[in-house]
Chain A
Amino acid sequence: MIEVKNVEKSFQDGDQMRQILFGINAKFYDGKVNLIIGQSGSGKTVLVKNLVGLFKPDSGEILYDGRDITKLDRKAMKELRKEIGMLFQGSALFDSETVMGNVMFPLKMFSKMSTGEQRERAQFCIDRVNLSGSESKYPSELSGGMQKRCAIARAIALNPKYLFCDEPNSGLDPKTSLVIDDLLYDITHEFGITTIINTHDMNSVMGIGENIVFINKGHVGWIGNKDEIYDVDNDDLNNFVYATDLFADVRKYRLEHGYKPTRLALQK
């Protein structure tokens, strides 16, 4: 489990300091798909970058199964990183490597496996994300969805305990998005990974959100799951969730059939 306690983060903005995160408290559970949602500019990407150690918070604690990464030395942090997989918004595949090369890369750098074993493990990951037959293709020869699947295969190659995904569905059509969501959901449960997905795709939220943390203007606005999100009394969350007609209709239907949220912020 990853636990975030009172995390604050500011950046220099001209002569002033601009605070992005204000006392964030949240828990991300093992074997569950944890979503961080919020509008663009709400601070969710900054939170994820703090979680993975790309940024250091100004104050607060980030505990990976009790290990506070803000206090870990370089060596311990390096060890911890071997337990982390990350799927980037733009996939971040290495252009000069094939699909097989990309998936084998973390194995080459960190495992003690022989080349044959590395290839076997990489093939397993490639098969798992349904990319069989594309092993010798370069990233530029892959579609957006295939690139994402290759990035997932690379992220799980070292059998990580924690998997971070930054906007995994960005730039993908709805059908491919569902494929990626299902894949992330299945992998999370199959391998018992703590998966944290940074998204504002409501289809993902409603489809796979087992633990949802809503970030609003740098604060935690709400924590719950996909079954609770329809009936929440929170203007900011409702404005975010029901910004699309589709989910406004779902909410209307639920209201007409006996579900009674305490208040509607945006009712059409």
Chain B
Amino acid sequence: MLLFLIVIIPVLGAVLSVLLPVRVRGIANLAAHGGVFVLAAVLAYHFSVGNGVLVFGGVLRADALSAFFVFLISLVNLAALVYSRPYLREDVFAGVLSEKQVRGYDILFNVFAATMLVVPLLDSLGHMWVAVELTTLASAFLVGFYNSKSSVEAAWKYVIICSVGITLALLGTVLVYHAVAAQTGLKTLDWSVIIVQAPGLDPRVIGAAFLFILVGYGTKAGLAPMHTWLPDAHSQALTPVSALLSGVLLKTSLYAIIRFAMITQKAMGADFTSRLFIFFGLFSVAVAGIFLLAQKDFKRLLAYSSIEHVGIIVFALGVGTPLAVFGALFHALNHAMSKSLIFFAAGNAVKRYKTHHLHMIHGLVRAMPFTAGAALVGLLSLVGMPPFGIFMSKLLILTACFQKGLYGPAALLLFFLAVVFGGLMFHLGPSIFGKKPKGVVSGGEAFSMKLVFVVLALFLVFLGVVMPTPLRALLEAASRTITGVGI
């Protein structure tokens, strides 16, 4: 029932957004996503105290891994919702958006949230594929929301490139289906059934399937070299949506990859997936680092940083020890929060300075102190400075890497991370502390935005200093689900 509620509430939110007038709509949406967050936290807590599996109606299924992703998605959803209120109000006030468009935004936001929340809760790999494709379709209009030349172009590239990727993932799914049917005679795509049969499946077919899956879902996850849609979509989308795309949409695809990787590892040993993960992970971090150095656009800069972090997570999955997987999941959580925080700050800055150009956004600290603070915390967190959570998760991943004796990959990763560090610091330092251009007014940040900034920043510091026991237990359980071994 819990699982069903988590999925159905945003759907109801979408329906209510169609019916209700503006004021009530805001409260209803807040209540809906607050409710989903609480339910997700209950679900996460359930799996942190004891293991097991929850099912609903033969379609929905949750284990510790799903619970973690649902928690992550609901958290960023709630933050984005709270932030988007004042953000859209300003646009309406400035005459950029109409009330009708804001209603459209509310509907799409809820549909997008529902599709993302359902991905980790579906048992059938076929349904999961449909849900992932629906996330693209639901968010396409949010990327092309302003209907300008560049946003329509970004939305087009986003839909087309991601759909091609997803189509390849469908091919991979069909191959897995074929392998299962050929081996056992079972006509099923249910993950829970396939994982039991996995050791007997034809390793060659499964290997070929995994290649399609990795390239397919990897496109959506933003792995280089299939990442080309990502900077466009992230920079053109509405800012709360950029945060959602970067913070959680990429991770839902990663979730799909993880599920298939588990099958593949059982069918043909861990080496195959491990090598692929490490290669794509390192390559993504490297590509992101190079493009970061040459960036001029604030939001594109952050988009490339997302590619880097997805690279780190995939790298950690490639290392594959329980500690590394624990670090990968923890990193996903930290990245989602840091990236939301800094995207929100970037959105404010872009609006105030009326430009995306980094060399024109200077002296944020004088124009918008809270936003500047958020940008600074986000920046320091993203590059991996203590005392923020990302420092801890990177440390865990590198420790696991050294423990396993992967010195070469670890060294390469550290080198690329240093490049990224330089790129981000070089670009964002002046934006935060430089000289404020004349004509940019100071102050005037909405209360709810400040609230989101402070809460997210405190969360990040908190996670860097102490690891709450339930979260730790949940991550351990999820890591055990993936690797089959405890830490």
Do A and B belong to a common assembly? no
